Amino acid sequence: GAPTISIFQKPPGVIPPGGSTTICCTCQCSYGSFVLYKGSLRLPIPEQSGSRAEFSISDATYEDGGTYFCHYLKGGTVLARSNELEISVKELRLPRPDLSVVPGHKVTAGADVMLRCTIAQPSTGCYLYLEGQVRAQLFSREQGHYNLSHVQEGDSGRYSCQCYTKNGSREWSAVSNTVDLVVR
């Protein structure tokens, strides 16, 4: 079958003006090359190996925000297209939330895990990010925590959270500390 190609932001989250992030394209494939687009604009990718390409945004401006996606080419033919990745550049005005994990960072497969994102700000919603996921927003926040039931090895990875005000104009926090969850 055709190769599948993924695009994700590392580290994930809304980035502030002047901040930095990396757009990663990965593919279970070889011998081809990646092309990165922002809308209809084709961008040069400096860092590229057979199965991975990285495009760094440093000293971000509002113009860096937008929709990005990758194509994987071989001999000029597009073999695969990624999903779209939305990059947001916004002022981060809220305090930084704290992410903790209960019962702990290392758990056995099948366990229930709670990820708690706490922020010193009323009326906020928070997003939980898992690095490497295209869909960064995994859960909307309820009561300040996220429950992962019957975790599997695929739930392992680097989590972080980011919060925003629900009322009026949306103000964002910085991204929390990261938590590495290991499922055995």
Domains defined for the chain, CATH in brackets: 5-87 (2.60.40.10), 92-183 (2.60.40.10)
pLDDT of residue 141: 53
On whether the CB atoms of residues 175 and 130 are closer than 8 A, the answer is no
- Record the pTM: 0.86
- Residue 75 region by backbone torsions, left for phi larger than 0, else alpha for psi between -120 and 50, else beta: left
Secondary structure (DSSP) of 76-114: TEEEEE---EEE-B--EEEPPPEEEEES-SEE-TT--EE
pLDDT digits (tens, 9 = 90+) for 108-119: 999 999 999 999
Residue 155: strand, helix, or coil = helix
Q: What is the pLDDT of residues 21-66, one digit of tens each?
A: 999 999 888 778 899 999 999 998 777 777 889 999 999 999 999 9
**What is the mean predicted confidence (pLDDT) over 165-184?**
91
Q: What is the pLDDT of residues 124-151, one digit of tens each?
A: 888 889 988 755 555 555 556 788 889 9
> Tell me: the pLDDT tens digits for 28-38?
887 788 999 99
Residue 136 burial by Cβ neighbours in a 10 Å radius (0-12, 13-18, 19+): buried
Query: Which amino acid is it at 7?
Result: I
